[in-house]
């Protein structure tokens, strides 16, 4: 398990932002990990995934910080199973966990919620549905391909010679070396 400070553990246990709870089959992988699946009460908050021996347990027996998850993906190790892997941190080696659910709906709900709270789900993606309508270029005579509104705005603007792209005489797609 990645190293968790006492302060992080206290904050995680006292967290009120519970996203999802329920009984889950749990198995950790590793040299000393058992081959038996254990039924655990699992609680997902904004920052942690906490495993309890039962719903009435006061303290978690294992806590994973969602920021430490490097993998959250479905696996065929068992029906309705999700693979979680933690990344290496200062005092701990990476660890692998398998979570088994009762069906597809439960599996995907947990998987999506865990993924979205991990560093994997917080990565900003590129634009979606992007359509390229205009291609603007620069030729020796000025800009090419500008929409009429832009062409009118640029027409009277002063030209900054240092900002102007250099174009080789061999063609418009070949950049010329900088001149001194």
Residues 96 and 137 reside in one and the same domain: no
Asked if residue 165 belongs to a domain, the reply is yes
Here the tokens at position 157 are 């603007």
Quote the tokens at residue 143.
Answer: 């800009």
Q: What is the pLDDT of residue 43?
A: 97
For residue 146, give its domain range: 131-180
pLDDT at 125: 59
pLDDT in tens, 158-171: 666 665 555 444 44
Kindly give the parts of the chain with pLDDT less than 50.
Answer: 1-3, 167-171, 174
Choose one of 84, 117, 150: the last residue of a domain.
117
> What pLDDT was estimated at residue 165?
54
pTM given for the model: 0.59
Q: Could you tell me if residue 98 is inside a domain?
A: yes
Within-domain flag for 126: no
Query: How much is the pLDDT for 57?
Result: 94
In a domain, 135, yes or no: yes
CA distances to 4, 101, 115, 157, 168 from 98, in Å: 20, 10, 14, 62, 58
How many domains does the structure of the chain reveal?
A: 2
64/37 same-domain check: yes
Helix (H) or strand (E) holding 73: strand 69-75
Are 138 and 110 part of one and the same domain? no
Q: What is the DSSP letter of 3?
A: -
Per DSSP (E only), the strands in the chain are 18-29, 38-45, 48-52, 62-65, 69-75, 81-86, 96-100, 137-139, 142-144
Residues 91 and 157 placed together within one structural domain of the fold: no
62 within some domain: yes
- Cβ-Cβ contacts under 8 Å for 143 (sequence gap 6 or more): 136, 137, 150, 151, 154
């Amino acid at each position: 398990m990645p190293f968790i400070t006492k302060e992080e553990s206290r904050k995680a246990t006292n967290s009120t932002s519970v996203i999802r709870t329920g009984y889950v089959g749990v198995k950790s992988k590793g040299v000393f990990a058992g081959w038996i699946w254990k039924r655990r009460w699992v609680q997902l908050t904004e920052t942690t995934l906490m495993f309890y021996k039962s719903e009435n347990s006061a303290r978690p027996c294992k806590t994973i910080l969602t920021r430490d998850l490097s993998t959250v993906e479905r696996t065929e190790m068992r029906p309705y199973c999700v693979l979680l892997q933690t990344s290496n941190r200062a005092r701990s080696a990476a660890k692998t966990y398998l979570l088994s659910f009762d069906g597809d709906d439960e599996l995907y709900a947990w998987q999506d919620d865990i993924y979205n709270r991990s560093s994997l789900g917080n990565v900003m993606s590129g634009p979606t549905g992007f359509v390229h309508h205009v291609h603007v270029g620069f030729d020796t005579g000025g800009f090419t391909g500008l929409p009429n509104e832009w062409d009118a705005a640029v027409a009277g603007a002063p030209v900054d010679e240092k900002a102007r792209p250099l174009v080789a005489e061999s063609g418009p797609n070949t950049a010329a070396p900088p001149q001194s």
